Structure 1
Amino acid sequence: MNDNDKNQIQRKLRLVHVVAIGLAYMSPFAVFDTFGIASDVSSGHVPTAYVVVFLAILFTAMSYGKLVKRFPNAGSVYTYTKNILNPYLGVMVGWVSFIAYLALPMINALLAKIYLSAGFPNVPGWVWIVGLIAVITVLNIFGVKIAASVNILLVVFQVLVGVTFIFLTVRSIQTGPEHFMSFAELFPAANEYSGLFGAAALLALSFIGFDAITTLSEDTVEPKKNIPRAILLVASIGGVFFFTVTYFMQSLFPDVSLFNDIEGASPEIAVMIGGNLFLSFFLGGALFSVFASGLAAQVSASRLLYAMGRDKVIPKRFFGYLHPKFNSPVLNIVLVGAMALSALLLDLEAATSLINVGAFTAFSFVNICVVKSFFTTERKRSLGYVLSNLIAPCIGLLFVVYLWVNLDLFSLTIGGIWTVLGLAYLAISTGFFKKNPPEIDFDELEA
């Protein structure tokens, strides 16, 4: 094994592993947590709102698929922006995007505390936060394939809970006064379209996860083929699951005002359709969802840091280090776990704001990179090429701009502070922009 091999992640993941990690990161169980508020905002058109956001997100997913074929390494949007737009801008985009990868483990730790504290009120909440982070850190240290295998089991369990939920919901509709929504009922009235798009903006976060798997390009066998496939599969599976579940939920509960807590309607629904026994099963699925998502988020964050460390954008000795036995960026994994402990000090609103800023930054620049490539790549401009490499990413970008416009002031403030900190570090590390950030030879990574 030569020196390059020692500092190169071994390709162990196949398509099924990557899809499992993407689905776990996306946390399909979140469909239950957002149903109540989304139904209220959309005036009872949650399934349609999911169709809207899926079609919009699909354009960004296609942009990711194009770029990962050109740059099959762990850096994701950081790498794309650095090489297509500008090295300094790439570092900044990577820095701002990282905040989303950092925030998700915090959110999952907070949710674990909420779920478990309800069942075990005498146990201090911090125990659940520290415990979850410690377990996912240990699993990720032992290697990404072990983490991926665990995620497959966790995702299968979530799907089983979802299928059971649908079955019980269908049974309740058939035996009750409600009816299945007709095709016409899926469309809102003329004065309800603003609410529909508002709900779509809210639900866009449900699809975060398809992009995170691009950080696993160096872990994946045949990344130029498997990563683009995984991106579209994760987005599509999520879209079908979200639409199906909410279609039956909305059919059974066209008006969510009857719930005691609109934002926490799913446990009430679980009791109504299946009693306390199903509620226990349902909460188990929610807890597994939190665990799986935290596991996947830490993997993605550690890979992004590894790519930036190997490029010497941040100290290589620490961030570019791979453990010789586990072949994983152990120091990054531990660091992400330690940073996730900030969940002890933050609430869900603050952590969600971090995800919004990081994800929307990544989505924006992925589409911009594809548009820039369209104008700089010399090839025949066929109609199909124009549609897929110019029109599609522009549509994706327009939707992301709409999401930016709907961000609250707190999110923008947090994002601005984080951006200023990154800009200050970049200025100091490059002698106030007198030298470019280091480059990496991508040919070495394609073996």
Structure 2
Amino acid sequence: MNQSNQLKRRLKLFHVVAIGIAYMSPFAVFDTFGIASDVSSGHVPAAYIVVFLAILFTALSYGKLVKRYPAAGSVYTYTKNILNPYVGILVGWVTFIAYLALPMINALLAEIYLSAALPGVPSWVWVVGLIVIISFLNIFGVKLAASVNLLLVAFQFLVGTVFIYLNVRSITKGPEHFNSLNELFPSNMEFSGLFGAAALLALSFIGFDAITTLSEETVEPKKNIPRAILLVASIGGIFFFTVTYFMQSLFPDVSVLNDIEGASPEIAYIIGGNLFLSIFTAGALFSVFASGLAAQVSASRLLYAMGRDEVLPKRFFGYLHPKHNSPVPNILLIGVLASSALLLDLRGATSLINVGAFTAFSFVNICVIVTYLKTKESRSLLYTLGHLIAPLIGLLFIVYLWSNLDLFSITIGLIWALIGFLYLTLSTNFFKKEPPQIDFDELEVS
């Protein structure tokens, strides 16, 4: 492999964790609380416990695979090498739609927040402005993007901590029906609602997997990327549970609020007045910005890996800036594509994320299972539990999530997959040409 065309190892563990948490967007917990509480009949904290335990099996599968393939392509690389090169390309294509959609969603959310605050400014200004800023930061290198994300994530957690404190104060000083803490698993709980809310909240954990695209830019990736995956998933799970535990204790029944979908801003106003509501809104904007920045980092690395393999035109997609060591053409292309947010709504963009994320989660677990079945040496009980039973449990949960997708999401996914299949058919001369393989030993010495 040409050493001048490699990403350089500049990221330490805390950089990778910051990008992963930013991508996951801690403030997503506030966006989904009202709806999840309604679906689960007031048991959002319990739903987060369920979804965290389920997602953890998939996180462990990512950790296993990144030790084998420390490359920028994530699930595309794993599937290509373990299952089949053509399948890997299709999986990478479908997965990319999630990386592409997240900058769109963040641009749309920025437009919603800022247009409400400054209605006189044309809404397109906020969409284009966000995309231009995050593209500019990403061009100057992944370490700068990671450092900015670290600051933005720290502010989000600070606002979240203040939110929890104000909730606790309201519980202890409020009227009689506020002075008891939420019971996690009451005897009369309806499990259909609990699992329905868990399926909805699974999207809160999208992000821990994106950091696998940074494997080539991380110091000691076989050690630090698996650690970062578990840290991001665990930190997110603890934060989501803690915030919703006290929110649910304060409002066991969200129907008393004026707007269930906008429950969190309303609660922020109730517990802290206009001052805290302003700070809370700033935290939401920082979350949108950080998530968009992290999503563009991940998407550009996935495209770079596919360009380097000549799955996509190498001259464009496999190019790295000689000074900043960043895939500038990919970053600019993603910025342009994300501008299509001007033509989409939140439902459409969210559907793209669902399809891409669930595809990635499914094939990561399948790859671990296939690796286990291909292993010829004797398998211990512990190895079987970790490499067969655990990914099977993870896969079953993802299948359950697939079953909860609406027809619109599935239709969009099938159309996108068909486009990828047609491109693959033509670009490989009807599957007669195989894409080149990556030499992972060379990656290790960079």
1:371 to 349, 355, 369: 369
Once residues 346 and 359 of structure 1 are traced to their aligned partners in structure 2, the CA distance between those partners, rounded to angstroms, is 19
1:88 to 86, 89, 107: 86
1:436 deviation in Å?
Answer: 1.6
Superposed, 1:59-208 pairs within 5 Å as 59-176=57-174, 177=176, 178-181=178-181, 185-190=183-188, 192-208=190-206
User: Is the Cα contact below 8 Å between 1:33 and 1:264 reproduced in 2?
Assistant: yes
Once residues 220 and 173 of structure 2 are traced to their aligned partners in structure 1, the CA distance between those partners, rounded to angstroms, is 50
Residues 154-177 of structure 1 deviation map (CA, whole Å, 9 limit, x = unaligned): 000000000000000000000012
1:437 deviation in Å?
Answer: 2.0
1:190 deviation in Å?
Answer: 4.9
Once residues 114 and 156 of structure 1 are traced to their aligned partners in structure 2, the CA distance between those partners, rounded to angstroms, is 23
User: Is the Cα contact below 8 Å between 1:48 and 1:186 reproduced in 2?
Assistant: yes
Once residues 334 and 377 of structure 1 are traced to their aligned partners in structure 2, the CA distance between those partners, rounded to angstroms, is 42
Root mean square deviation, CA, Å: 0.9
1:21 deviation in Å?
Answer: 0.1
The alignment partner of 1:435 has SS state of coil
Once residues 188 and 334 of structure 2 are traced to their aligned partners in structure 1, the CA distance between those partners, rounded to angstroms, is 47
Say if 2:313 is the partner of 1:319.
Answer: no
Q: Which residue identity lines up with residue 181 of structure 2 in the other structure?
A: M
The alignment partner of 1:186 has SS state of coil
Aligned to 2:277: 279
Aligned to 1:298: 296
1:258 to 256, 275, 294: 256
1:441 deviation in Å?
Answer: 1.5
Once residues 379 and 64 of structure 1 are traced to their aligned partners in structure 2, the CA distance between those partners, rounded to angstroms, is 22
1:209 to 204, 207, 210: 207
Any runs of at least 4 consecutive aligned residues in structure 1 with deviations exceeding 2 A, and if so which? 179-182, 188-191
Superposed, 1:52-63 pairs within 5 Å as 52-63=50-61
Q: Which residue identity lines up with residue 371 of structure 1 in the other structure?
A: I
The alignment partner of 1:12 has SS state of coil
Q: Which residue identity lines up with residue 179 of structure 1 in the other structure?
A: N
Residues 27-63 of structure 1 deviation map (CA, whole Å, 9 limit, x = unaligned): 0111011000000000000000000000000000000
1:189 deviation in Å?
Answer: 4.4
Aligned to 2:22: 24
Q: Which residue identity lines up with residue 51 of structure 2 in the other structure?
A: V
- TM-score between the two structures when normalised by the length of structure 1: 0.98
User: Is the Cα contact below 8 Å between 1:47 and 1:247 reproduced in 2?
Assistant: yes
User: Is the Cα contact below 8 Å between 1:311 and 1:440 reproduced in 2?
Assistant: yes
Once residues 57 and 240 of structure 1 are traced to their aligned partners in structure 2, the CA distance between those partners, rounded to angstroms, is 13
Say if 2:382 is the partner of 1:381.
Answer: no
Q: Report the number of matched residues.
A: 443
Aligned to 2:358: 360
Once residues 379 and 261 of structure 1 are traced to their aligned partners in structure 2, the CA distance between those partners, rounded to angstroms, is 58
Aligned to 1:440: 438
User: Is the Cα contact below 8 Å between 1:103 and 1:352 reproduced in 2?
Assistant: yes
Once residues 159 and 134 of structure 1 are traced to their aligned partners in structure 2, the CA distance between those partners, rounded to angstroms, is 26
1:446 deviation in Å?
Answer: 1.0
User: Is the Cα contact below 8 Å between 1:180 and 1:248 reproduced in 2?
Assistant: no
1:191 deviation in Å?
Answer: 5.9
Once residues 442 and 408 of structure 2 are traced to their aligned partners in structure 1, the CA distance between those partners, rounded to angstroms, is 42
Once residues 93 and 264 of structure 2 are traced to their aligned partners in structure 1, the CA distance between those partners, rounded to angstroms, is 35
